[in-house]
Amino acid sequence: MYAVIMAGGSGTRFWPLSRETMPKQLLKIGSEQTMLQQTAQRIMPLVPHERILIVTHGGLLRDISAQLESSFGGSWSNSIIVEPEAKNTAPALGLAALHISRIDPNAIMVVLAADHFIRKSDLFLDAIKLAASAAKKDYLVTLGIKPGRPETGYGYIRSGAPIDLAGTKGVFKVSAFVEKPDIATATKYIAGGDYFWNSGMFVWKVGTFLREIERLQPELHSGLQKIRNSIGSGNEADVAQTVFSTLKPVSIDYAVMEKTDRAAVIPVDIGWSDVGSWTALDEVTDKDAAGNIIAGNVIDLGSRDSVIYADQRLVATIGLHDAIVVDTPDATLVCSKDRAQDVKKVVDELKKRKSEEHLTHRTVYRPWGNYTVLEEGERYKIKRIVVNPGAKLSHQLHHHRSEHWVVVTGTARVSNGDKEYDVHSNESTYIPISTKHRLENRGRIPLQIIEVQNGEYLGEDDIVRFDDDYKRHDTVKRSPLPEIPK
């Protein structure tokens, strides 16, 4: 059994906590682990590390491996399938299936979302096992969530006749997939008892799935074949890019599930939430007596049924009802709960304005540590840089800026042009423009430096890398598919 975790989501609905480079699946929501880490952990009793695959886009590759490696150890970079271009779920899952089928065409493939919350892991695993037994009989199985409320934001699955699996109960033919209903229809669905939320979790045999793609989506199938044939040619990345650029974006529901006659549903009650907006925090986090979820440096006087999320900065709230307040170092959201779905409109507006606040946080995590932009002004930028013990940044050079470094804690090993020397706390050094340099922490405690950049262009992309522990200077295009393990 293989698990494929879909982790390409952009998570705009959790802005400003989520950003394009830090979407919901990489955040700690409802747990000390990130949603991605929770998702991997949850399936591990059935699927070992080596058979868990992550599908994502190139921008998240590094952070996803880092999160998985920090939680579970080992290397995860070979477990990641990179979509050459975002084309919705069908092409992405086709690519994953192609990869698995090269290893084992009879493997069971479990499809999970990286950003869903599931309270009852045991029941979830039971359902996956049941689904696997149906998948062995060539069914394409989806988990249908027993609806707790007449939700109008989800599609529904109507169950049909039970499927006889040698006495095992709980699997049904799918009678229909239906679009997001209005509230009256949703209420009727709930009363009926045979409608379930479409969770986007699937279980199928990889061979069955690819045959259904061949039958129902011949263009996608032939694209996948081209990619398959290119493997070993050294040209995989280009071929995959070309194929994906011509594919129509299409969801797996529309492409396969709604059309196949092999669709089955297993109704489950596993404490599921897609945590689709700030209001959904209610489903994954405990509330206080007044119905509030409050975190961080908050002084609240008499608010009710509100989400108040602060970080270090002080947030004072007085007498709010059904409000969402999210404060981050560079942006604050204040939103009425009934408008939580409109957070993505703010993100759209920020994109239109080319603002940075939808893209990155003030603090950016890197394999060697992190940096925080403290201030940007005309011709200068100030960062606090933290280098983990034993880590070093790439050997690099900037064409448009010089840098002053003041060491605040720890000891910096600095290579600066031809020289190499240590800079201790309360000492400083200067890196002239166009000079090769490197920063390293050979000590036992985190190295913190304050960097003052001067120059006429201060973008992060003014960097030439010569050597990098994290291979970021490697410009060879990465194949979307990892190597097949021997």
The mark string for 356-395 relative to its own copies (x by CB under 8 A, - otherwise) is: -x----------------xx-xxxx-x-x-----------
d(CA 479, CA 233): 11
Structure tokens at 394: 């790439």
Nearer to its own copies, 245 or 336 (CB): 336
Whether the CB-CB separation of 28 and 40 falls below 8 Å is answered with: no
Q: Which amino acid is at 291?
A: G
Instruction: Tell me how far CA of residue 267 lies from CA of 141, 362, 434, in angstroms.
Output: 11, 43, 62
Give the pairing of strands 307-309 and 293-295: parallel
Write down the least CB distance from residue 158 to its own copies, Å. 34
Nearer to its own copies, 248 or 424 (CB): 424
Exactly one of 216, 359, 406, 458 binds its own copies (CB under 8 A); which one?
Answer: 406
Nearer to its own copies, 53 or 350 (CB): 350
| Element housing 396 (H / E) | strand 395-397
Nearer to its own copies, 26 or 335 (CB): 335
Q: Could you say whether residue 349 binds its own copies (CB under 8 A)? A: yes
Q: Which amino acid is at 201?
A: M
The mark string for 412-441 relative to its own copies (x by CB under 8 A, - otherwise) is: -------------xx-x-x-----------
Exactly one of 404, 442, 477, 478 binds its own copies (CB under 8 A); which one?
Answer: 404
Q: Could you say whether residue 334 binds its own copies (CB under 8 A)? A: yes
Stretch that binds its own copies, among 83-91, 142-150, 227-235, 350-358 (CB under 8 A): 350-358
**Number of residues this chain uses to bind its own copies (CB under 8 A):** 55
Q: Could you say whether residue 408 binds its own copies (CB under 8 A)? A: yes
Q: Give which of 37, 215, 43 is closest to 114, Cα–Cα.
A: 37
What is the rounded end-to-end Cα distance, in angstroms, of the chain?
Answer: 18
Exactly one of 100, 257, 333, 387 binds its own copies (CB under 8 A); which one?
Answer: 333
DSSP 3-state of 108 = strand
Q: Could you say whether residue 346 binds its own copies (CB under 8 A)? A: yes
d(CA 283, CA 286): 8
Write down the least CB distance from residue 6 to its own copies, Å. 28
Nearer to its own copies, 261 or 375 (CB): 375
Write down the least CB distance from residue 460 to its own copies, Å. 19
Whether the CB-CB separation of 458 and 403 falls below 8 Å is answered with: no
Contacts of 250 (CB under 8 A, 6+ apart): 87, 88, 89, 90, 91, 217, 220
Nearer to its own copies, 299 or 464 (CB): 299
Q: Give which of 437, 446, 435 is closest to 393, Cα–Cα.
A: 437
Positions 143 through 182 that interact with its own copies (CB under 8 A): none
Positions 245 through 304 that interact with its own copies (CB under 8 A): 299, 301-302
- The label of the residue with tokens 């992190």 reads 370
d(CA 419, CA 235): 41
d(CA 197, CA 125): 18
DSSP 3-state of 90 = helix
Nearer to its own copies, 288 or 349 (CB): 349
Write down the least CB distance from residue 274 to its own copies, Å. 20
Q: Could you say whether residue 342 binds its own copies (CB under 8 A)? A: yes
Q: What is the 3-state secondary structure (H, E, C) of 190-235?
A: HHHCCEEEEEEEEEEEHHHHHHHHHHHCHHHHHHHHHHHHHCCCCC
Write down the least CB distance from residue 345 to its own copies, Å. 6
Exactly one of 39, 230, 317, 411 binds its own copies (CB under 8 A); which one?
Answer: 317
Nearer to its own copies, 135 or 331 (CB): 331
Q: Give which of 331, 439, 479, 361 is closest to 63, Cα–Cα.
A: 361
Q: Could you say whether residue 119 binds its own copies (CB under 8 A)? A: no
Q: Could you say whether residue 336 binds its own copies (CB under 8 A)? A: yes
Instruction: Tell me how far CA of residue 11 lies from CA of 8, 296, 339, 340, in angstroms.
Output: 9, 22, 16, 13
Q: Could you say whether residue 444 binds its own copies (CB under 8 A)? A: no
Exactly one of 454, 463, 469, 478 binds its own copies (CB under 8 A); which one?
Answer: 454
Exactly one of 115, 253, 274, 327 binds its own copies (CB under 8 A); which one?
Answer: 327
Structure tokens at 426: 């309360």
Nearer to its own copies, 301 or 476 (CB): 301
Task: Look up residue 14 and give its DSSP letter.
Answer: G
Positions 297 through 316 that interact with its own copies (CB under 8 A): 299, 301-302, 310, 313-316
| Interface residues toward its own copies, by CB under 8 A | 16, 299, 301-302, 310, 313-321, 323, 325, 327, 330-336, 338-339, 342-343, 345-346, 349-350, 355, 357, 374-375, 377-380, 382, 384, 402, 404, 406, 408-409, 425-426, 428, 430, 448, 450, 452, 454
